[in-house]
Amino acid sequence: MVARARLRSILIAVSVVLCVSGTPVAVAGPDPRPAPQHDPFYTPPAEWSSKAPGAILNSRRVEVASLGPQAQDADAWQLLYRTTDTAGKPVTTVTTVLRPRTGPVNGLISYQVAEDASAPQCAPSFALRQGAPEKYDGSLDLIQIEQMLSAGHAVSVPDWEGPLGAAFSPRQPGYAVLDGVRAAESFTPLGLSGIDTPVVVAGYSGGSFATGWAAQVQPAYAPEIRLVGGALGGWTVPIAPYLESLDSGPFSGFLPSLLPGMMRADPHLAAVFNRYLTPAGHALMTAGDSKCLTPNISQHAFLRMDDFLTVPFSEVFAQVQASFGDVDFATAVPAAPLFLYNAVHDEILDIALADQAVTRWCAAGAQITYTRDLLSEHVVLAITATSAVLRWIRDRMAGQAAPSGCSTSTVSSMSPGGA
């Protein structure tokens, strides 16, 4: 019975991955909208840097795609806002905010998508829009957003990688998330209650990284935000061993997708890679920097970084350890309760690394409910865990206290009816 259920899980995963990688999520004619780097909306007004973090600099109404030909049945806007980079300097980014068309909202969920790419057209503010020409890599994210709206929540979907397209850098992803919350709370059409709004941060896979940083920096950076919880699935920490493990494997296309933005954000990382990349290696990074995750994955499976470097990839990684020293964890642990979940047999991530990270946070005093799923793979868990995640969010929004301390459980499946 277990073997049969596991086979069914694998088949579901394959079908979902095929949907993500090969099917446009919105049916539309040619889209005249420019990509972010050519869209005046993303250019802030004069003297924007003197504004407070979270200040709205521009706004516009948009339609957000769904998995079918219709747009999401929700009111949606985009907000350009001021935020902060890793070095503490002002930068701008955009969040897409949505609310159900009717009725009050229960609270605000900041949902961080798994963009996992450096190219500007992969940012959710562009890729999520109805009729966008890119085949949106995050079809799974559209499912999550629709479920959150159906549960009566307003949703903020920030471009948390920031203007440099850096997926993995310290602090900045968290700042972008929290300043997106500040912008959403001050945006009257969303119908929120300002700083009294209960807020949950949530994200899966690559989105879990920004979600974790938001939970870590919130007490010091945005203490006025009423953060009642964080939900992180497919947790991608620590980053260094995760990235190194991708080399030469079926998901090695993540590397040319992620590294260009990371190099833009970290001069030391850029200097080391640029020293050792061959001409073919530079061409690989340039090409990867122009595409979203799905084409990079499909074109570069089993890519060996040694073939694009003048020294072994392991030697390059040994030289950039300083860049990864504070990428994953701040000195303070999250104050809000967390709901974490990972697939034991995840084909992309090593759950042992997530287990160790949970142990580290728990030892430092974090409040964590951690679930390990035996039957799901990486993609499947994003779907099967949705009901459990939304129940946990609902309880936190309603003011119900999360379980105290830390707990870890291993279940057959997080799907409804699983045990």
pLDDT in tens, 232-246: 999 988 899 999 999
CA angle (335 as vertex; 330, 339 as ends), nearest 5? 95
154 found inside a domain: yes
pLDDT band at 134 (very low <50, low <70, confident <90, very high): low
21 pLDDT more than 80: no
CB 19 within 8 A of CB 143: no
42 found inside a domain: yes
CA distance 384 to 266: 36
The answer on 138 and 200 residing in a single domain is yes
SS3 sequence of the chain? CHHHHHHHHHHHHHHHHHHHHHCCCCCCCCCCCCCHHHCHHHCCCCCHHHCCCCCEEEEEEECEECCCCCECCEEEEEEEEEEECCCCCEEEEEEEEEEECCCCCCCEEEEECCCCCCCHHHCHHHHCECCCCCCCCCHHHHHHHHHHHHCCCEEEEECCCCCCCCCCCCCHHHHHHHHHHHHHHHCHHHCCCHHHCEEEEEEECHHHHHHHHHHHHHHHHCCCCEEEEEEEECCCCCHHHHHHHHCCCCCCCHHHHHHHHHHHHCHHHHHHHHHHECHHHHHHHHHHCCCCHHHHHHHCCCCCHHHHECCCHHHHHHHCHHHHCCCCCCCCCCCCCEEEEEECCCCCCCHHHHHHHHHHHHHCCCCEEEEEECCCCHHHHHHHCHHHHHHHHHHHHCCCCCCCCEEEEEECCCCCCCC
Residues in the chain, how many? Answer: 419
The answer on 369 and 301 residing in a single domain is no
> What per-residue confidence (pLDDT) applies to 292?
94
pLDDT in tens, 343-364: 999 999 999 999 999 999 999 9
The answer on 222 and 274 residing in a single domain is no
CB 396 within 8 A of CB 200: yes
416 found inside a domain: no
The answer on 339 and 311 residing in a single domain is no
The answer on 153 and 171 residing in a single domain is yes
Among the residue ranges 196-205, 214-223, 260-269, 327-336, the one predicted with the least confidence is: 327-336
79 pLDDT more than 90: yes
419 found inside a domain: no
Domain extent for 272: 239-324
For residue 211, give the CATH number of its domain. 3.40.50.1820
> What per-residue confidence (pLDDT) applies to 326?
87
Examine the fold and report which residue of 324, 341, 372 is the final residue of a domain before the chain moves on: 324
CB 204 within 8 A of CB 114: yes
Task: Tell me the two tokens of residue 163.
Answer: 């203007």
417 found inside a domain: no
Q: How far does Cα 229 stand from its chain's mean position? A: 16
CA distance 279 to 282: 5
The answer on 380 and 249 residing in a single domain is no
pLDDT band at 12 (very low <50, low <70, confident <90, very high): very low
Count of the separate structural domains present in the chain: 2
Examine the fold and report which residue of 324, 358, 389 is the final residue of a domain before the chain moves on: 324
279 found inside a domain: yes
155 found inside a domain: yes
Average pLDDT over residues 23-49: 75
pLDDT band at 256 (very low <50, low <70, confident <90, very high): very high
CA distance 23 to 75: 25
The answer on 244 and 234 residing in a single domain is no
The answer on 123 and 53 residing in a single domain is yes
> What per-residue confidence (pLDDT) applies to 89?
97
> What per-residue confidence (pLDDT) applies to 143?
87
Examine the fold and report which residue of 324, 344, 372 is the final residue of a domain before the chain moves on: 324
For residue 267, give the CATH number of its domain. 1.10.260
The answer on 252 and 358 residing in a single domain is no
Regarding pTM above 0.85, the answer is: yes
11 pLDDT more than 50: no
Among the residue ranges 54-58, 282-286, 356-360, the one predicted with the least confidence is: 356-360
The answer on 199 and 91 residing in a single domain is yes
> What per-residue confidence (pLDDT) applies to 195?
97
CA distance 190 to 200: 16
Average pLDDT over residues 279-293: 97
273 found inside a domain: yes
Question: Which backbone phi and psi does 339 adopt, to 5 degrees?
Answer: -115, 110
The answer on 94 and 146 residing in a single domain is yes
Q: How far does Cα 24 stand from its chain's mean position? A: 20
The answer on 248 and 188 residing in a single domain is no
pLDDT band at 18 (very low <50, low <70, confident <90, very high): very low
pLDDT in tens, 165-188: 999 999 999 999 999 999 999 999
